[in-house]
Amino acid sequence: MSAVPEVDEDDFRRAMARFVTGVCVVTTTAGGQDYAMTVNTLTSVSLDPLIVLVCLDVDARVTEAVAESGVWGVSVLPVTERAAAAWLAQNGRPLQGQLDRVALSRGPATGVPLLVAALSTIECATVQTHRAGDHDVVVGEVRSVGAPAPQAEPLLWFRGGYTSLRHPTGR
């Protein structure tokens, strides 16, 4: 058996940057505090039962809060929410008041904050968590779905930056 060559991290980053993803915000409430983080990993896993997964940085505050609360929401962002996505992606932003910049509603099934401007929303209850390198893969059973802004254009992530369907070249 021949030796497997080592993969260069920069080459890997460039390869993955060519994969277009949607932009979402994962939210939860734990200990009376709301938590949120921008992510670009949301995957539909199963239709029976309804299951999705998200990947959360193990060092992010929201990851611990999701583990504590056992419930979480996903807001799929339209292009008009680029500023909110950028803000909620910043490391070290203050925990208190971090969601003051966005209009929120509370999910009907779990009470987690959801972005009013979202293309769609999903509320979940965690059924499994798997450590995978520097991220936790959080698998959740869907408790509710909504489509507050179904006609808006989606916010996308491509080549290391935010983009849209009208400007598919990204950075």
In the chain, how many domains are there? 1
Q: In which domain, by residue range, is 46 found?
A: 21-150
Position of tokens 């939860």? Answer: 28
3-state helix, strand, coil in the chain (%, to 5): 15, 45, 40
Look at residue 1 in the predicted model and tell me its pLDDT: 66
Model confidence pLDDT, tens digit, residues 104-113: 999 999 999 9
Look at residue 4 in the predicted model and tell me its pLDDT: 81
Look at residue 151 in the predicted model and tell me its pLDDT: 81
Within a domain: 5: no
Contacts of 32 (CB under 8 A, 6+ apart): none
Which CATH number does the domain housing residue 77 bear? 2.30.110.10
Within a domain: 120: yes
Residue 171 pLDDT level (bands cut at 50, 70, 90): very low
Model confidence pLDDT, tens digit, residues 60-94: 999 999 999 999 999 999 999 999 999 999 999 99
User: What separation, in Å, do the N-terminal and C-terminal C-alpha atoms of the chain show?
Assistant: 41
Within a domain: 91: yes
Model confidence pLDDT, tens digit, residues 129-156: 999 999 999 999 999 999 876 788 999 9
Look at residue 168 in the predicted model and tell me its pLDDT: 57
Within a domain: 3: no
| 72 within 8 A of 66, measured Cβ to Cβ | yes
Within a domain: 40: yes
Within a domain: 1: no
Cross-strand pairs, 56: 136
Please choose, from the candidates 76, 14, 79, 158, the residue with its C-alpha nearest in 3D space to the C-alpha of residue 168. 158
Within a domain: 70: yes
Considering only residues 168 and 85, tell me which one the structure prediction assigns the higher pLDDT: 85
Within a domain: 61: yes
